[in-house]
Structure 1
Amino acid sequence: MKYSVKEIFLTIQGEGYNSGRKATFCRFSGCNLWNGLESSKKTSKCNFCDTDFVGVDGVNGGKYNLSSLINKIQKVTKENTKTKKLIVFTGGEPLLQLNEQLIKNLKKKNFEIAIETNGTIKPPEGIDWICVSPKVKNKIVLNYGNELKVVYPQKGLNLNEFEKLDFEHFYLQPLHNEKYDQNLKKTLKTIMKYPKWKLSLQTHKFIGVK
């Protein structure tokens, strides 16, 4: 199998439960909810994505086989195998490409495996941390995990229904667009009404890291 990777980089996780942790990010190319082209964004199943996941032209991007991808991830991470390391697979939609073979081999190198997914695809075995970020227009099949992170506001959102799902942590994250200040106020107001939910900020954007 060849993995199509947009970029691989070392940073600080800025969102959700693991916010503040050192992490290696591997962003796979492609998504099943949007093709990544601005011309089709308004009519896509996810019309507020702010991520470039098209192609393989990012930092450390490319077409990788299993061994070359593992070697690149280790090189970017810059740590030996004795240290527990966090790798976050994201996209696009990482579950279009992430498989058990890659997971098992990275675990042998002492990596903790995390994903950020839209929840529309069942995951392979062996993932240590599952973060689902659902889009209201789409039915999720991955209704369990470690954290549910909802971008807010979204039209037609029903938080009561989401609370029935099997997650340890529930986060609301203000939609980061030209109305961010307004979205943040709405998010805070909603959290005061729904105490099960916690605030997630995209910390990396405030501290100026990728």
Structure 2
Amino acid sequence: MKYFVKEIYYTLQGEGAKSGRPAVFCRFTGCNLWSGREQDRASAICQFCDTQFVGTDGPGGGVFRSALELAGAVAAKWPESWNANKMVVCTGGEPLLQLDEAVIEALHDEGFEVAVETNGTKIPPPGIDWISVSPKANAECILRAGDELKLVFPQPGGEPTKYENLDFDHFFLQPMDGLSREQNTQLAAQYCLKHPQWELSIQTHKLIGLP
């Protein structure tokens, strides 16, 4: 099987419960909620995505002809000086369109803890160590359990009450980016204060200038 990857890079996780932890990000191409083309945004199921996931031309990106080849490319991004606490974040787009058991096994063999960031519309293969779900208001969230639920806020039709009874260890509100980010941050903070089940997740990598 071939795997199509936009980019692979080493950075700090900027969001959620793992925020601040060094990780290799493996961004798969493609999404089932938006084509990634601006001309299709207005008609997309998810219209607020701020991620470039089209093509394989990003840093470290490419078409990988096997799970072993992809895992090797991920491992090459990790510092040679430290062979512990290794984490890879499989993201997209929607990574579960491509991420399979073979890739997960190959990444484990390279010593990585495997995390996934998904929109919750696909059931993941077994073996993933950390599941982060970011549901979208206009798409059915069928993945109803995991490690963290990270809800972009506010979303009309995707209010936190819609997800608060799902089986997750952490519940985060993440202010929607864009021109209203400061206002959305205040709204999210106030909601968390009134509803302590929810925690605030800030995109710290953007604040400090990391990818």
TM-score range, shorter chain: over 0.9
Q: 1:45-71: per-residue Cα shift (whole Å, max 9, x none)?
A: 000000000000100110002222111
1:127 maps to 128
Q: 1:90-149: per-residue Cα shift (whole Å, max 9, x none)?
A: 000000000001101211121000000000000000000000000011111100000000
SS in 1 for 2:71: helix
| Amino acid in the other structure paired with 1:150 | L
SS in 2 for 1:121: coil
| Amino acid in the other structure paired with 1:109 | E
Q: TM-score, normalised by structure 2?
A: 0.97
1:7 maps to 7
What pairs with 1:1-210 in structure 2 (closer than 5 Å)? 1-65=1-65, 66-79=67-80, 82-210=83-211
SS in 2 for 1:48: coil
Q: Assess if the C-alpha contact under 8 Å between 1:81 and 1:109 holds in 2.
A: no
Indicate the RMSD between aligned Cα atoms, in angstroms: 1.2
How big is the shift at 1:157?
A: 2.3
Whole-angstrom CA distance in 1 between matches of 2:80 and 2:165: 40
SS in 1 for 2:89: strand
Whole-angstrom CA distance in 2 between matches of 1:158 and 1:175: 13
How big is the shift at 1:161?
A: 2.8
How big is the shift at 1:193?
A: 1.8
Q: Assess if the C-alpha contact under 8 Å between 1:81 and 1:110 holds in 2.
A: no
Q: TM-score, normalised by structure 1?
A: 0.97
SS in 2 for 1:114: strand
How big is the shift at 1:27?
A: 0.0
How big is the shift at 1:80?
A: 7.1
Whole-angstrom CA distance in 2 between matches of 1:171 and 1:104: 29
SS in 1 for 2:16: coil
Could you tell me which runs of 5 or more consecutive residues in structure 2 were left unpaired when the two chains were aligned: none
Q: Assess if the C-alpha contact under 8 Å between 2:151 and 2:160 holds in 1.
A: no
How big is the shift at 1:86?
A: 0.4
Q: 1:167-205: per-residue Cα shift (whole Å, max 9, x none)?
A: 000000000101111111111111122110000000000
| Amino acid in the other structure paired with 1:195 | P
SS in 2 for 1:77: coil
* Runs of 4+ in structure 1 over 3 Å off: 79-82
Identity of aligned residues (%): 50
SS in 2 for 1:182: helix
| Amino acid in the other structure paired with 1:151 | V
SS in 2 for 1:163: coil
